[in-house]
Structure 1
């Protein structure tokens, strides 16, 4: 393996292909800004000739601003001669002609709006547009941010084309196993793989005619025997002296008889037997017969043996058919998605990657790569651990050449976007082919005690991250960061920076028994909430401090893996009266407020419908209790008043549009003030206002009337996944509140006090010799 050296931001060579492994808090962004600055000064590249690629739009905007600020700081140091940080001071000494350096910095700032700082999709889009002839791209292709509706349309077409022609037996089996257009679509909920992805082995779809005929014949025989011999069969099961009554309890037999009746009544159209069907088969009867007795005998039991066997044979065939149909859908979705996008002249973000990749791989791709290299003389790739194979292939084809400096910056230990297609093996492949490997060792984020603790934990295992290619590099506290605001409780600095809590499962579930995950999560949530309550109380008394100031709620963060864990922690905190705020990727349309909004808008769209009006009045937004609604209906005059109010809102919606009507509704019905009375009132109010904004924009853009807007909201609520960042829950005010953050949202952030209550929950390790 290539020797890993510590990266020297001032003197490491600006040439060849380089990998910089940058752990959390080690100054990755600072290193990128430093590299950009050196390329401007030492290589005389213009700001528009340096490509910088990062992962998200937010990260792109932040990185762009950080680089701009660094250029200004450098220009100030070179022009005034005043001290900057150690890096800028080193650059001043390194540059032989300060006047030339200052000219280059001013020119970089002048044209900085042309700097090539993009997301990977932004880079691909710009490249395809500027090289339309070489890449074969159309100029006027529309970029769409959501292709879920198109995928759903294709999946439903596939369902109709394939399942409508299948036998009723197979369709019933599929539906019994929760196979539906929705479940098939969920197989591709995150992305559609490129054309280079294959299903291995590509399964065949076997015929099932013979097995279906055998199943039907066996079922008919069981049915005929049951209908004519039911009383005798039931009598044998109830009265046979040799049967073990622990296995054949008389109460259970009554249930089994009813289940057999239901099976016979199904007419043999459902090839799934009920669980207790085996009780009518000879092998189960023999196993349940006492010693010294003969097993109960009846021809029906042997017929059940045959039906059980033929059902198992048919199910094996059906499982292969389902697998084959899923593979067929994979290919159909690939082909149809591309065809329909071409027909509609639209493309999705992943199409930008695939189109550029295809253009580079086809004949003439070399010329396209040379054109891109003429535009960009160096490339800095941020968050490289989140690269997928297509992205890596693009970068490799364009920039992994001797004459272009390429820096890949990332941390494989932070590769958390596999659900979006990121592939750690692409990172490992790249790391094996770079010319130089570096690491950033100084941690600027954490206090020294925590750095030492993390080093101790991950130094012990031989392969702490499973793969030999992913090595743990010890971090060290940053020398230049002199002040660490440490948590002090009652004046003591002796409390460990990292504490590991162990749940006493044996004390809860009993010796040698495991506690179930649900109970573990509940107990841990309440324990964390209790400790947070203690710390906040100490902070209020001035006995818990961060540096010189009292500990407050917003100094504390709880990191969780899933949104449901976040809600569990929030409930535990709420029970103790502790305010908290969620930083999650939950969908706005999965919220309780979306359900209530649909109820209210449905009633406004049809104010003459009493059931819809009752549903709306029962929402927290309107605030009537069940008892109040009953009293209203008994008092015709009061009920009529509500009907008239909703009719007036209906007319306002018709005359002035959704937003004007909804503002009037919120004001007159005091919706926000009512919601703010709840413990999570700020969250609820934020969701209602966000929903109103989204609905207003959709109504305008899609020119939707009342019924259309209610249907749009209903459809969005029934979608399983969040595909648009705009439709993720917005953050309510986080002032003086504990932050509850999913791991994906916490990346790059820092908090004085952090709890990680569910880090254990995702582990698949069964290594009893592991450290935990």
Structure 2
């Protein structure tokens, strides 16, 4: 496992490892290299976006060309990479031409290199190993499965909910008013159906069982109340005559209404007594003790039970979970049947099908086939891996049991594990870290940021690491830390951000002083105004050549495109943009969630298009 913080040369390292794998060992006894030279189709390089695969492919190709030039001694000494020179010098000079030729062929072969996303690779494996994976030879990858999934959920609704009687259907529509509402919940769990446990009964049986259990629980809760009320009502009236409690806080009208509501509840099918918030507060041991003057309130068991009643009613058996699981399990089976009929799969189905095949009866044959095809795998951005993906990799490469004829290199940074909403799981990373115990390498130098910035980040995380649970909250009490913070050094940059002749600190924290906790509505506009004012101050100084990037006594003035503001959402973005706009500074909001068709200008463009279409 290679842990690489931002800017430490992760892609550079992947490309250099690729060169090393293509070259093979320096001699037949070289234990530091793979057992034989590999070709690009044999080296699996995996990352998580199509754009990243293309960039990685080109970076590797470029590195192979540079390495070939280094082995041929055709590069200018000033442009030669020191690491490539060091690598070349480890080989016998007589072998340099052969090494160069191998690297040149690999560079020419990169169009067929196995650089892909996890979904593309799974798609390829299912097609190429159809016999062992139990999949069809011809598969269509359908990226958008929403229409098919909605159709399946509507089939489920018609099959199971249409035949229900009015009461049962009313129970269903309390949870899901329409098939679309059910679909919203089902689609989130479709790809986790195997983890939902045993098959649930059909809705009719689930509703009947839940109703019977609820009725039995309610009957138990209501059983003592008729006797309690028969005791409490006259006792309270007698106590009222003797002014044993504060009458204003528990007057005759309140007593009649509240105790009457309890009587109606315990003698009917009502689920909850119709009590006001004041009644729930008063009819408890603490509430009665608050108003009682002499002695103790009558029938203390009733007040104790009433104090616990809201919690008991909140925990009445609810069939929603079992209903949803049944819907997910049925829809998953129907969806797979429809996909098989259409010979298509969705992106996530590719992973689940390959995972299932690698756990099935032909798992050993399939894993061996894939391993022969790709003896070495380099997994980029491993911190974004989910449990299914790691299970696939582990089934093929047996991560915890290293071997000479196969290898899987995991490259990632747990500090950048921010895609939990897409299924990425930091605990998968921790498992892989445990499986590779003793085989960890950390890239320890940042090549992107200034010394000051790296030191500031190191300081923040070092301070957080003093917490008993560690910087990432995984350290067990009195135990080891499975995810320690590892500081990095910095190569530094030649330029330095300065303002009025003084270097600016790499990190500053702004706090609003207040004797009372600040609300979001008070804090957000104030900080947006302060931030905008400071940005304008720096930009104005940049226009006067007093603020910018200083390098060798030469100042490059600061300009708006040099600045970025990270926000937590559209509301914060709107606040800072308005503050900047009021100061005459234009800005652009960049977000994956920002829909162009919902922007103000979209409606204006629509009007223009309508006018052109129907003048």
- TM-score for both structures, normalised by structure 2: 0.76
* CA deviation string 1:731-751 (max 9, x = no partner): xxxxxxxxxxxxxxxxxxxxx
Distance 1:558 1:179, change over 3 A: farther
Distance 1:93 1:158, change over 3 A: same
2:566 to 553, 559, 567: 559
CA distance in 2, matches of 1:26, 1:459: 18
CA RMSD, Structure 1 to Structure 2 (Å): 4.4
Partner of 1:25: 7
Answer yes or no: is 1:581 the counterpart of 2:556. no
Partner of 2:489: 476
Answer yes or no: is 1:88 the counterpart of 2:84. yes
Distance 1:449 1:134, change over 3 A: same
Q: Structure 1: any 5+ residue segments left out of the alignment?
A: 1-18, 220-239, 296-304, 598-618, 623-661, 670-772
- Secondary structure at the counterpart of residue 317 of structure 1: coil
CA distance in 1, matches of 2:273, 2:612: 54
Distance 1:382 1:666, change over 3 A: farther
Paired residues, number: 546
1:52 to 32, 40, 45: 45
CA distance in 2, matches of 1:144, 1:270: 50
Q: How does 1:255-654 map to 2 (within 5 A)?
A: 276=276, 279=279, 283=283, 291=293, 316-319=315-318, 321-400=319-398, 401-402=402-403, 403-434=405-436, 436-460=439-463, 461-462=465-466, 463-467=470-474, 468-478=481-491, 483-493=493-503, 495-504=504-513, 506-507=514-515, 509=516, 514-547=517-550, 548-586=555-593, 588=595, 591-592=598-599, 622=607
CA distance in 1, matches of 2:510, 2:86: 46
Query: Shift in Å at residue 244 of structure 1?
Result: 6.8
2:56 to 48, 53, 63: 63
Query: Shift in Å at residue 65 of structure 1?
Result: 1.2
Higher mean C-alpha displacement, 321-330 vs 22-31: 321-330
* CA deviation string 1:110-141 (max 9, x = no partner): 22110000001111111111112221221332
CA distance in 2, matches of 1:271, 1:352: 47
Partner of 1:665: 611
CA distance in 2, matches of 1:356, 1:213: 46
Query: Shift in Å at residue 552 of structure 1?
Result: 1.1
Query: Shift in Å at residue 276 of structure 1?
Result: 2.5
CA distance in 2, matches of 1:337, 1:152: 10
Query: Shift in Å at residue 271 of structure 1?
Result: 5.5
Is the contact between residue 495 and residue 549 of structure 2 (CA under 8 Å) also seen in structure 1?
Answer: yes
CA distance in 2, matches of 1:49, 1:180: 51
* CA deviation string 1:198-225 (max 9, x = no partner): 3599899543258569989x99xxxxxx
CA distance in 2, matches of 1:576, 1:171: 58
Distance 1:556 1:130, change over 3 A: same
Distance 1:357 1:244, change over 3 A: same
CA distance in 1, matches of 2:311, 2:502: 68
- Secondary structure at the counterpart of residue 432 of structure 2: helix
Is the contact between residue 48 and residue 116 of structure 1 (CA under 8 Å) also seen in structure 2?
Answer: yes
Query: Shift in Å at residue 392 of structure 1?
Result: 0.8
Partner of 1:734: none
- Secondary structure at the counterpart of residue 406 of structure 1: strand
Q: Structure 2: any 5+ residue segments left out of the alignment?
A: 25-35, 223-242, 298-303, 475-480
Query: Shift in Å at residue 25 of structure 1?
Result: 0.8
- Secondary structure at the counterpart of residue 392 of structure 1: helix
